[in-house]
């Protein structure tokens, strides 16, 4: 499971010109799920996301977590994070999980994160054509891969 965390001052997702999710200060997260992912990946990744110290303290040092700053989350499914670009110019998405595996894991990630922070998680819609807007704060962008824990 791959997550791209972007620290934002605001972010939103539109589906068919209607805003589906919107946040202020917090994290906009792109989540890529592959066939080999499990609930163990969700547990590890959600803990890392919640506790990652990438928000500034009073001295301007990245020393605070999402919990510390009472930040919000916008979670967007993004199968293209598992693109293989080794051969040719057309990416292959063979590693990306099919909907029957990915949807339950995406929903489990939503519910796991929702239990961890006091503010309701905002999200896109799995498989929809989404338009994501954000103001990256910093910019700070962190990539987490649950298969690369060491």
User: What CATH number is associated with residue 89?
Assistant: 3.50.80.10
Among 105, 123, 97, which residue's Cα sits nearest to residue 40?
105
150 found inside a domain? no
Q: Active-site positions?
A: 80
The residue ranking higher by pLDDT, 148 or 12, is 12
Please compute the mean of the pLDDT values over residues 101-107 and round it to a whole number: 96
Q: What is the pLDDT of residue 149?
A: 78
Give yes or no for residue 150 having a pLDDT over 80: no
Alpha carbon of 3 to those of 18, 60, 78, 138: distances in Å? 25, 25, 9, 18
107 found inside a domain? yes
Q: What's the domain range around 87?
A: 2-145
pLDDT tens column, 3-35: 999 999 999 999 999 999 999 999 999 999 999
Domain count, the chain: 1
Q: What is the pLDDT of residue 134?
A: 98
């Amino acid at each position: 499971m791959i997550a791209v965390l972007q620290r934002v001052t605001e972010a939103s997702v539109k589906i068919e010109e209607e805003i589906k999710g919107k946040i202020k200060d917090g994290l906009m997260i792109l989540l890529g799920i592959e066939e080999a992912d499990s609930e163990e990946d969700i547990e590890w990744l959600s803990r890392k996301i919640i506790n990652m110290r990438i928000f500034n303290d009073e001295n301007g040092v990245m020393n605070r977590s999402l919990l510390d700053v009472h930040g919000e989350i916008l979670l967007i499914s993004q199968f293209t994070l598992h693109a293989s670009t080794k051969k040719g110019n057309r990416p292959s998405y063979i590693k990306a999980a099919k909907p029957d595996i990915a949807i339950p894991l995406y929903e489990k990630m939503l519910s796991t994160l929702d239990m961890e922070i006091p503010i309701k998680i905002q999200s896109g819609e799995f498989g929809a054509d989404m338009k994501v807007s954000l103001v990256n704060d910093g910019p700070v962008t962190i990539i987490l891969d649950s298969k690369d824990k060491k």
